[in-house]
Structure 1
């Protein structure tokens, strides 16, 4: 392992209190897919500490309500964050989830430090109070959203921790321009950090990468190195995979050295992704 690598993980969930202790405490990456995810403890099976930046997944709220997802006019599916959901996020992400991840990583020998996007102004940007959505085939404006778009990453804070031998474990919420903590897309948050650090982005999900035919794992796109291959990649992405490809694009545009969409179900998923698993996208693809 090297000590100058970066690990940040995010989650968008809180489970019922009685279930928390029974579940595996590793939560990395994700999105809806066709197979159940096998949960692993943080750091399990790592042969080296990767420069890892990965995003969150889908879980029910702690009040028993299912999270609400909306579709934008461009076809991107995302979570609608009302005030109640935002309160759950603030308890779950920088609290329960981040603490459990840091605990597991430290048990595995990683000198992890937990952060939220609010800490030290790590993730900042504009707040979105309303979003354009498509409901029943009609375009509408939904108000009351508590989310934002990351415009700045405090890379100095992360570099300081890395230089001291620590491994930052970062999660939403972010700090909006009006001084309020708001939700932000986990994969795109990881993409912003990857770009700011010139790192490799690894987005974990529950399929083995981006498939040319979304229903056929045998059509996994292994490598994307040219604009033509990138166009085919964007055409193949559907539903939640569209947002993951968006994160890949933003990471590379911001300075990431590579971006990977890979399976969280693999043994040692981060190492497997960095060793060639999943779909690898290179900067030249978006040139």
Structure 2
């Protein structure tokens, strides 16, 4: 365990390379626990809680500020470029960080995101307002429907993973609405995506209620070296819903990139 102000950061594993895992809105760094467990790769993982979520204090919650935090974390913790994996909001943050400092990142894996500004702002502004009035069962139902696919939501609420995250959502602080606003009101990331010179793996969920796979597909022409994998039976949060499938994709992606460079490093 390691704490780097202003972020609470967990350090897991060891190996010849490092990876930064950047979580989604409404979650914290523990959303990667199952992924890290099944990936079983010789990698040192840096897993921060972004500002205003999990165990990190608040402050400027803009995506640009969060990207600056990730850059500072990599500068402090690594003497060589790292892999970065970002889920939803974490993907936006990872994109901005890698576009600003490509020298720090070997590659990017982005899950459940888009380069577009929010295409349904009224829907998400309503969710933001609902969160500000208080987290009750109705709000949690809406968060779950946004973040998870139909197969996951068909699990009983007593299912261990679903219960874990539903319980997590009940404990969200009111201030998470400020983070939600920054995500829902974000500007287009087309320029940042187009600035990514490293390999980029996109992962979409076929059952995503928040960002349809086609929105990720539209990112491909912007990327110098991009690929897209769509997972069936998965929603907006593949890292939670299908950690085994994501680990397999990421393992192959990191292996192909490192093999092209100087032999396998991850």
TM-score range relative to shorter protein? 0.3 to 0.5
Larger strand fraction of residues: 1
TM-score (norm 1): 0.31
Larger helix fraction of residues: 2
